[in-house]
Amino acid sequence: MIGIRVVDDHALVREGLALILAAQPDLTVTGVHADGAELLAVPGDLGDVVLLDLNLPGLDGLEVLRRLRARTSRPRVVMLTTIGRARDIRRALAEGADGFVLKDSTGEELAAAVRAAHAGVTAVSPAVAAELGAPAEPFTPRERDVLALLGRGLSNRDIAAELGLAERTVKVHVGNLLAKLQVGSRTQAALAAERVLG
């Protein structure tokens, strides 16, 4: 189960995000915060992933991100904003954000970005990729190999054995594929394999 904290200054937005994420079987919302100071005041471990609004009153999202990176226990951080300007996206990624999602993304895109970030993969929504001038689904040759084996129903362990990879490496590839395919499960990725791979 991936534990997530949501930080947004608009009550309706943060409550909506929490509901969307909590509806996923592998995600749980461990905290909802109105601003960065409230999040940073939480002692100890902040969990797995922080979904952090870029434009917060007081401490903005980038400053909160910097302070999170200075902590001993450092969660993955996915930045969230209404308007995705390339300059802001690049700054956030340069400061160590693990992903960037626009608020007009679907619930599946949001969940996929959280999963990918948790797996150690930089996760950006298709709209963010387009803003950066990158293709939305740039599959590497290794990702194509993993996807083909996912399509055959193999487990991470079996894929690792087949490709001569560490199981942890396969897990990262699977997380990346979920984000790029904008799907929420291995089963959905397997179903998409035929369409993607032809």
Query: What pLDDT digit, counting tens, does each position of 127-160 carry?
Result: 776 666 655 456 778 888 999 998 898 999 999 9
Sequence spans of domains, the chain? 2-131, 141-197
The span from the CA of 122 to the CA of 135, in Å, is 14
Query: For residue 44, is it left (φ>0), alpha (ψ between -120 and 50) or beta?
Result: left
pLDDT at 180: 76
Domain 2-131 is found in CATH 1.20.1260.10: no
User: Which is higher by pLDDT, 37 or 188?
Assistant: 37
What percent of the chain clears pLDDT 90, i.e. is strictly above it? 42
pLDDT at 49: 95
Check: CB of residue 88 under 8 Å from CB of residue 81. yes
| For residue 109, pLDDT beyond 90 | no
Q: What is the mean pLDDT of residues 6-11?
A: 96
pLDDT at 195: 74
The CATH code of domain 141-197 reads 1.10.10.10
User: Which is higher by pLDDT, 180 or 1?
Assistant: 1
- H/E/C letters for each residue in the chain? CEEEEEECCCHHHHHHHHHHHHCCCCEEEEEEECCHHHHHCCCCCCCCEEEEECCCCCCCHHHHHHHHHCCCCCCEEEEEECCCCHHHHHHHHHCCCCEEEECCCCHHHHHHHHHHHHCCCCEECHHHHHHCCCCCCCCCHHHHHHHHHHHCCCCHHHHHHHHCCCHHHHHHHHHHHHHHHCCCCHHHHHHHHHHHHC
| For residue 82, pLDDT beyond 80 | yes
pLDDT at 2: 94
pLDDT at 83: 77
Mean pLDDT of the chain: 86
pLDDT at 64: 94
The span from the CA of 133 to the CA of 5, in Å, is 30
The alpha carbon of 122 is separated from its chain's Cα centroid by a whole number of angstroms, namely 7
The span from the CA of 32 to the CA of 51, in Å, is 10
| For residue 174, pLDDT beyond 90 | no
The structure's pTM equals 0.68
Query: What pLDDT digit, counting tens, does each position of 18-65 carry?
Result: 999 999 999 999 999 999 999 999 988 898 999 999 999 989 999 999
